[in-house]
Chains A and B, each alone.
Chain A
Amino acid sequence: MQVTLKILRFDPGKNAKPEWHTYQVEAEPTDRVLDLLHKVKWEQDGTLAFRRSCGHGICGSDAMLINGRNRLACKTLVKDLGSVITVEPIRGLPVEKDLVVDMEPFFAAYRAVKPYLINEEPPPARERLQSPEERERYDQGTKCILCASCTTSCPVFWVNGTYLGPAAIVQAHRFLFDSRDRGKRERFKALGSASGVWRCRTAYNCTEACPREIPVTQLIEEVKRAILFDRF
């Protein structure tokens, strides 16, 4: 089938602001949007810039705004979009070139919640024990691939870039609800601050955007409750 692919492009050396470019691409219904971007880059215009690595939805490189929704280009098929497809960079992060955005602010928020197990007790000779139920408690957050689909779909983040954003809160949740972790006091400082969880207005955009089907809003609510009641 013939697909009309509209890409919002921007070259900081040439353009004052982003502009739409339209490409005609021959595609199979089962092609990924990533395949179409490759067809443009490899057959029509080598200057097109975008990020990608694994190509099947686990590395988190290619989150884009596709037909108005944040999705991974490698996990979105043409048959689910139709014959006119628009692709823009994810919103709320500075655009560097075409579909490439500056990821540094996103990773800075990630680092702010101390995204690592905090437990200074000397570990046992074998593994720390954890029941399957305790393991299940924080399972959802472990699926996160740090693609930024959630954070860059959040209207609060668009307005206020200092908001930690859903992805960082999901990471915090992953440790707060891990029976092995002892770091809640440290994490609460960032999470309870003016740029923390209370900024969330439960718009649910993040949950809809997550390509890993993590119930992001629910996890944020659980973190809010944990801070309020300081118990789990």
Chain B
Amino acid sequence: MAHRHEVIVVGAGGAGLATALYAAREGADVAVVTKLYPTRSHTGAAQGGIGAALGNVEEDHWEWHMFDTVKGGDYLTDQDAAEVFAKEVIEAVLELEHMGLPFDRLPNGRIAQRRFGGHTKDWGKAPVHRAAHAADRTGHMILQTLYQQCVKHNITFYNEFHVTDVILEDGVAKGLVALELATGELHLFQAKAIVIASGGFGRIYKVTSNAYTLTGDLQAILYRKGLPLEDMEFYQFHPTGLYPLGILLTEGARGEGGILRNALGERFMERYAPTIKDLAPRDMVARAMYLEVREGRGVGPKKDHVLLDLTHLPPEVIEKKLPDITEFSRIYLGVDPLKEPVPVMPTAHYAMGGIPTTLWGQVIRDEKNTVVPGLYAAGEAACVSLHGANRLGTNSLGDLVVFGRRAGIHAARFAKDADYHELTEAHLGESRERIERLKRSTGKEKVARLRAELQQSMMDHASVFRTGELLAKQVEILKELMERYQHISLDDKGDAYNTELVEALELGYLLEVSEALVHSALNRTESRGAHAREDYPERDDQNWLKHTLAYKVADGKVAFRYKPVVLGRFEPKARTY
């Protein structure tokens, strides 16, 4: 079946819905293609807040927010993106409120704000109340509110459609191919502009806060087609994953006064970040936790985690401001945060890297910022690069509204002056062949087993601390896994709701993004932000103040180019907190 829309958005998380909404407001005919139902996307899991210098609780300025973002990103952040972001996120939060988002309120009726990691006043002097929040389900409320607005604007949704191909010819994006889960049928989508907003790929790791469905599909599809992925070596581990499941416990818990403690009961962050302590950026806290465990001060029979202590907080703060994480802890661990500290350990959380774009979401193909006409990206799937080497808490929600809006507006305007491209059934060929091969295969390999091996090996060799030796080992493991992937066979040969087929396709994508990540990490011989090389422990601005662009040459073979970092307001300095 064939469909035609001026702007087609892939993904119905916050970035996708913001894009769709603003493109529709520009007058474009918009459709959203999503592999889930709307409101199932993982923006809904974001808890703590959306940072904006509203100044509702105390003095704040967008320049401070911009500075924190650049410093938090260990100076790999493009400063033009950070400036646009810090200014526009204020307006974006107010617009969300106007759309009906139920932010928590201050006694004077204004939007309430809380402290969050790495967000400071007066250029790093002390934590600042910047994160606008709705209890600890801010992401849920953003997702719901944006979907409500899409319903209001009658935007077309193709639910449970898995994109299997992006049609790129003559350097131009022409359309999409997608598998309809209900029927197994392949659909052809003709579009003047396509916006990729399909989220991240935390499922490359064993322990992750990410949904089962976050498998980097579109990053992998574009990477296979020869487009670059930017800064893939920078992958964020969130410090407080519920141990051992990895379910996210918001940094807002520390924003409200929670403290990390080791087996000796010490507030160990005092040693690593004397000024802002537990509210240091995530990369630093995650490393500190690993070091505490490594040095024998871990908790539990295996001494392999630490504790998040909320017991000193007033019970009403915990119940009112952190109800969901309190429930997670009670349900999954049987631990009541009011009475005892909660076991935590870092959990794979967010890809700073992704599909490189301009400030308007246009996908670029090289270090000269050459645009791929008709192709856009926004949100975690994209790399603009706002987050640099390490994203600050709350900036993902801000990112998806600010840059989703920009991508939507630009895509709609582009579509007005563009024509549709001719597409034929032949464009389904590549997808059909890939699916048929999987269904026909009688190989001995199974999806679940290969995936488990991938996730464990990525955890062991390419997570918080890295060395050249371990990364080189992982390069070889990935090559072997890619080879074995060719011999996967399925139990389910049917068409309707073949979720096993979907998992097989997704595993293919996971392998691709893992390859880009591991090769980029091996290539970058310095430590910066979330990329910590024990064999190269220092930041090296001389050689590495630049973005990585990774291009796939063949399985196991990756080529690199480099894009300069956009500097400006803030010169790179040592990063202490």
- In the complex, the answer to whether B148 meets A115 with C-beta atoms within 8 Å is yes
- In the complex, the answer to whether B492 meets A47 with C-beta atoms within 8 Å is yes
The answer to whether the Cβ of A185 comes within 8 Å of any Cβ in the partner chain is: no
- In the complex, the answer to whether B102 meets A139 with C-beta atoms within 8 Å is yes
- In the complex, the answer to whether B148 meets A53 with C-beta atoms within 8 Å is no
A-contact 0/1 string along B34-46, CB 8 Å cutoff: 0011011110110
- In the complex, the answer to whether A60 meets B494 with C-beta atoms within 8 Å is no
Stretch in A15-23, A142-150, A224-232 with 4+ CB within 8 Å of B: A142-150
- In the complex, the answer to whether A175 meets B100 with C-beta atoms within 8 Å is yes
- In the complex, the answer to whether A103 meets B37 with C-beta atoms within 8 Å is yes
- In the complex, the answer to whether A142 meets B497 with C-beta atoms within 8 Å is no
The answer to whether the Cβ of A45 comes within 8 Å of any Cβ in the partner chain is: yes
Specify which chain A residues have a CB less than 8 angstroms from the CB of B44 in the assembled complex: 54, 58-59, 145
- In the complex, the answer to whether B149 meets A116 with C-beta atoms within 8 Å is yes
The answer to whether the Cβ of A129 comes within 8 Å of any Cβ in the partner chain is: yes
| Closest Cβ neighbor of A43 among chain B residues | B448
The answer to whether the Cβ of A77 comes within 8 Å of any Cβ in the partner chain is: yes
Within 8 Å by CB of A47, from B40, B41, B494, lies B494
Stretch in A120-128, A158-166, A195-203, A214-222 with 4+ CB within 8 Å of B: A120-128
The answer to whether the Cβ of B98 comes within 8 Å of any Cβ in the partner chain is: yes
Q: How far is the CB of B32 from chain A (nearest CB, A)?
A: 14
* CB interface residues, B 145-159, toward A, < 8 Å: 148-149, 151-152
The answer to whether the Cβ of A52 comes within 8 Å of any Cβ in the partner chain is: yes
Specify which chain B residues have a CB less than 8 angstroms from the CB of A97 in the assembled complex: 496-497
* CB interface residues, A 1-57, toward B, < 8 Å: 11-13, 30, 41-43, 45-47, 49-50, 52-57
What is the CA–CA distance of A218 and B102 in the complex, to the nearest angstrom?
Answer: 21
The answer to whether the Cβ of B104 comes within 8 Å of any Cβ in the partner chain is: yes
Q: How far is the CB of A118 from chain B (nearest CB, A)?
A: 9
What is the CA–CA distance of A13 and B213 in the complex, to the nearest angstrom?
Answer: 26
Specify which chain B residues have a CB less than 8 angstroms from the CB of A50 in the assembled complex: 499
- In the complex, the answer to whether A46 meets B490 with C-beta atoms within 8 Å is yes
Specify which chain A residues have a CB less than 8 angstroms from the CB of B212 in the assembled complex: 52-55
- In the complex, the answer to whether A13 meets B496 with C-beta atoms within 8 Å is yes
- In the complex, the answer to whether A135 meets B104 with C-beta atoms within 8 Å is yes
Instruction: Count residues on chain A whose CB falls below 8 Å from chain B CBs.
Output: 57
Specify which chain A residues have a CB less than 8 angstroms from the CB of B100 in the assembled complex: 116-117, 119, 175, 178, 180-181
| Closest Cβ neighbor of B94 among chain A residues | A127
A-contact 0/1 string along B400-411, CB 8 Å cutoff: 000000000000
Specify which chain B residues have a CB less than 8 angstroms from the CB of A114 in the assembled complex: 152
| Closest Cβ neighbor of B46 among chain A residues | A58
Known: A117-B148, A145-B39. A75 touches B331 (CB 8 A): yes
The answer to whether the Cβ of B256 comes within 8 Å of any Cβ in the partner chain is: no
The answer to whether the Cβ of B170 comes within 8 Å of any Cβ in the partner chain is: no
What is the CA–CA distance of A13 and B107 in the complex, to the nearest angstrom?
Answer: 59
Specify which chain A residues have a CB less than 8 angstroms from the CB of B103 in the assembled complex: 127, 135
- In the complex, the answer to whether B107 meets A58 with C-beta atoms within 8 Å is no
- In the complex, the answer to whether A42 meets B448 with C-beta atoms within 8 Å is yes
- In the complex, the answer to whether A146 meets B331 with C-beta atoms within 8 Å is no
- In the complex, the answer to whether B497 meets A49 with C-beta atoms within 8 Å is yes
Stretch in B133-141, B291-299, B362-370, B457-465 with 4+ CB within 8 Å of A: B133-141
Known: A56-B247, A59-B211, A75-B331. A135 touches B110 (CB 8 A): no
What is the CA–CA distance of A56 and B211 in the complex, to the nearest angstrom?
Answer: 9
The answer to whether the Cβ of B2 comes within 8 Å of any Cβ in the partner chain is: no
The answer to whether the Cβ of B126 comes within 8 Å of any Cβ in the partner chain is: no
Q: How far is the CB of B239 from chain A (nearest CB, A)?
A: 18
Known: A47-B494, A53-B211, A131-B107. A145 touches B37 (CB 8 A): no
Interface centre among A54, A107, A117, A142 (most CB of B within 10 A): A54
What is the CA–CA distance of A91 and B495 in the complex, to the nearest angstrom?
Answer: 24
What is the CA–CA distance of A123 and B110 in the complex, to the nearest angstrom?
Answer: 14
Interface centre among B97, B99, B446 (most CB of A within 10 A): B97
The answer to whether the Cβ of B491 comes within 8 Å of any Cβ in the partner chain is: yes
Specify which chain B residues have a CB less than 8 angstroms from the CB of A77 in the assembled complex: 331-332
Q: List 22 A-B contacts (CB under 8 A).
A: A30-B333, A41-B499, A46-B446, A49-B498, A53-B211, A54-B40, A54-B44, A56-B328, A58-B44, A58-B45, A59-B211, A60-B40, A61-B40, A75-B331, A97-B497, A116-B100, A116-B152, A129-B109, A135-B104, A145-B39, A175-B100, A181-B100
Sample of 12 more A-B contacts, CB < 8 Å, known A77-B332, A129-B109, A131-B107: A42-B446, A50-B499, A54-B40, A58-B44, A97-B497, A110-B151, A117-B99, A127-B94, A127-B98, A138-B102, A142-B141, A146-B39
